[in-house]
């Protein structure tokens, strides 16, 4: 992609980005949203950590939680004692994509890891890795493989949108 790698890395927590950049993908019907749902999630949460790490995005509360449940997010893990202890009451409400400084992004919905690799001051190569549990039943496995290929990754509609912006 003809851009500085920092632009791709910094764009992770820009939640104006998704409904504007990816509205055409939503209109294709590839996601369980209708046109009205492809708006800004009304409740957001930003957690900026030490050393440049961050997570930002929809919060699992109110209307944002309803929309997240509609696309299959299950917040039951938030109630586990070990999650509450590790993340606290704020961290368990985070539903965005974590960014590990300087160039790693975790796409939580598709079980993917993305690295933004600098290839010079005006060129970025993006590597995608998909992590699947080999114990998954066939249908969820098929769905995650499809997402890895058609959302982000080699034939990803969202990835192509991002490349156009950057």
Which pLDDT score, from 0 to 100, does residue 166 have?
Answer: 64
Average predicted confidence (pLDDT) for the chain: 81
Q: What is the CATH number of domain 5-165?
A: 3.90.380.10
Joined tokens for residue 99: 């960014």
Q: What is the DSSP letter of 34?
A: -
d(CA 93, CA 59): 5
- Give the residue-averaged pLDDT of 18-28: 78
pTM to 2 decimals?
0.76
3-state secondary structure of 126: strand
Residues 59-75, mean pLDDT to the nearest whole number: 76
Would you place residue 30 in the very low, low, confident or very high pLDDT band (cuts 50, 70, 90)?
A: confident
* Per-residue confidence band for 40, with pLDDT thresholds at 50, 70 and 90: low
User: Which residue has better confidence, 152 or 138?
Assistant: 138
């Amino acid at each position: 992609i003809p851009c500085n790698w920092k632009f791709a890395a910094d764009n992770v927590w820009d939640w104006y980005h998704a409904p504007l950049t990816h509205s055409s993908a939503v209109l294709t019907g590839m996601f369980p949203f209708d046109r009205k749902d492809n708006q800004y999630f009304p409740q957001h949460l930003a957690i900026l950590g030490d050393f440049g790490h961050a997570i930002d995005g929809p919060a699992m509360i109110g209307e944002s939680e309803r929309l997240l449940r509609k696309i299959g997010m299950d917040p039951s893990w938030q109630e586990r004692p070990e999650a509450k202890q590790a993340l606290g009451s704020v961290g368990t409400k985070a539903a965005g994509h974590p960014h590990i400084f300087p160039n790693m992004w975790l796409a939580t919905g598709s079980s993917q890891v993305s690295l933004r690799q600098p290839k010079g001051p005006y060129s970025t190569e993006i590597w995608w890795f998909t992590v699947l549990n080999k114990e998954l039943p066939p249908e969820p496995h098929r769905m995650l493989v499809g997402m890895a290929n058609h959302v982000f990754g080699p034939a990803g509609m969202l990835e192509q949108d991002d490349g156009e912006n950057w």
